[in-house]
Structure formats: C-alpha cells, structure tokens
C-alpha cells in the first residue's frame, strides 16, 4: 500500500504504521527536508527517484514528491474500540458505515471522526470501500490515529455494541431531529451508502433513527458531510455535559 503526500507520511511516521521505504523526488536531494530527516530518525530506507516514477506509482495524483511503501492497513477488533474508550474514561463513541463505496467520502469521514473524538469506525468486509491509498490521502493523516474494525456482519456488531451498553442509531431522513436527542451515554451512529442510505434490515436492529433538519429543496447531504455534522453535535453535547458536571 502506498501513502502519498507530505502530511500523510509525516502522520504515518509518528504512528504505528510500518513503512518499508520512502521514495522522494530527486529534486529534494541535497536539501534540508523534513520527511528525509524523519526517515533517518526512524531508520527507514529512502531513495531519490525522478518525478516521473512517482507519477506512475501515484494513485491519487497528489503525491507532492513523496510516496511511502507501507504494509497493509492494520484493522482492529470492535472490542479494541470499546477498550480504547474505557481506557480514556469515556463513554464509547463509534461510527458504523453501511456500504460507503466512495474512498473520498470514507477518507473525509475518518478525518471528521478523528477530529470529533470518535473512538473507532466499523466497516463491513463486503460491498464497501476498504482502506486504500485514496482513503489514506483524503483522511489527511487522521487515519493514523483512528481505530477501524472490518467485520463480516454489521447486525452482529450492532447487537454486540448494545450488549455493551452502547445505544445505536441509524442516520436517515424522517428520524428524530438529532438536536433533540441525548447522546451523553455510549453511542454509535450508522451512516448509510451514498445512494441508498442505511438498509432497512440494519435499521430494524437499531435503538432509533436520527436525522438532520434540512431547509432546502435537496433532501439529502453527502455522506461525509452528514457524518461530520452528527459527530460534532454529539461532541458538543458531551463537552457541555463535562462542563456541567465539573
């Protein structure tokens, strides 16, 4: 797997992602360079190559003169996400994705989740985008700090979360307005696919359905935008609750 771009590689070097080699545009040879210095510090092999080589290897077209070769992304278990929340002394805050197929949406969701204090993301193994170069690039380095579990059956994981005291809500039009709900306890929200939303069979396993109030003539938001708004409303409530209990 390739990690492209200066910021994404910097974040990867500061995390536990294993990098085998970094390719650097040869125009940087002989200059003081942050990525090269980090590679030396972490004892990671690097080599200078012509820009055309980077262009051919790039999946995103935005390598900025740097491409790192890493091992495949290390997915976690759902139990690891719950344990992370427990170790921080916090109620679980989880996002499940039901059939997100656009890697740019997935990357943007990861970025919003990392910034919004989400403990982890759960994705299905089938009929959904997996972590790839575009997802890593779009996440702008956030993926290095985010636990992601890949599971065979979302319904089983919903039941598992509920057994562990986590309330699970599908994000769909027609649901209860998100601003009127209480998310101070353990919570997981499900974001549906770009074209079809959350499957009805998945909704039937949830504790409820929540929605955003839409004032325009368009009746839906981009999946990553909707996720971001939902995540930061939950964060707002939790921060407010923390201040009130101090």
Domain ranges in the chain are 2-70, 78-245
The pLDDT of residue 87 is 97
Regarding the domain delimited by 2-70, which CATH topology (the fold level of the hierarchy) does it fall under?
A: 60s Ribosomal Protein L30; Chain: A; (3.30.1330)
On the question of pLDDT at 246 being above 60, the answer is no
Regarding the domain delimited by 78-245, which CATH topology (the fold level of the hierarchy) does it fall under?
A: Alpha/beta knot (3.40.1280)
Find out whether 143 and 170 touch, Cβ atoms under 8 Å.
Answer: no
Please report, rounded to a whole number, the percentage of residues in the chain having pLDDT higher than 90. Answer: 59
Closest CA to 203 of 212, 214, 191, 213: 191
* 2 DSSP 8-state letter: E
On the question of pLDDT at 217 being above 80, the answer is no
What is the SS3 assignment for 7? Answer: helix
Read off the pTM: 0.77
C-alpha to C-alpha distance for 103 and 122, rounded to whole angstroms: 15
Closest CA to 141 of 14, 1, 2: 14
Closest CA to 235 of 108, 105, 147, 113: 113
Closest CA to 173 of 131, 218, 239, 206: 218
On the question of pLDDT at 210 being above 90, the answer is yes
pLDDT digits (tens, 9 = 90+) for 22-57: 999 999 887 788 888 888 888 889 999 999 999 998
The pLDDT of residue 16 is 61
- Beta strands 208-211 and 167-177 are parallel
Bridge partners, residue 94, by sequence: 120, 188
Sequence length of the chain is 246
């Amino acid at each position: 797997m390739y990690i492209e771009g200066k910021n994404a590689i910097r974040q990867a070097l500061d995390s536990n992602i294993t990098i085998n080699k970094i390719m650097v545009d040869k125009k940087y040879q002989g200059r003081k360079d942050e990525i090269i210095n980090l590679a030396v510090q972490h004892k990671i092999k690097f080599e200078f190559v012509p820009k055309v080589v980077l262009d051919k290897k790039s999946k995103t077209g935005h390598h900025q003169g740097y491409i790192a070769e890493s091992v495949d992304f290390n997915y976690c278990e759902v139990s690891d996400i719950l344990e992370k929340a427990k170790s921080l002394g916090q109620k679980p805050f989880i996002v499940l994705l039901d059939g997100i197929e656009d890697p740019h949406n997935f990357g943007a969701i990861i970025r919003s989740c990392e910034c919004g204090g989400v403990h982890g993301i759960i994705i299905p193994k089938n009929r959904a985008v997996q972590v790839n170069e575009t997802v890593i690039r779009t996440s702008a380095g956030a993926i290095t700090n985010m636990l992601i579990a890949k599971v065979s059956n979302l319904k089983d994981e919903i039941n598992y979360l509920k057994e562990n005291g986590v309330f699970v809500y599908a994000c769909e039009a027609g649901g209860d307005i998100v601003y009127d709900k209480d998310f101070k306890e353990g919570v997981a929200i499900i974001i549906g696919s770009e074209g079809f939303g959350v499957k009805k069979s998945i909704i039937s396993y949830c504790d409820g359905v929540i929605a955003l109030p839409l004032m325009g003539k368009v009746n839906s938001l981009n999946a990553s935008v909707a996720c971001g708004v939902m995540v930061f409303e939950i964060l707002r409530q939790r921060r407010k609750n923390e201040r009130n209990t101090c």
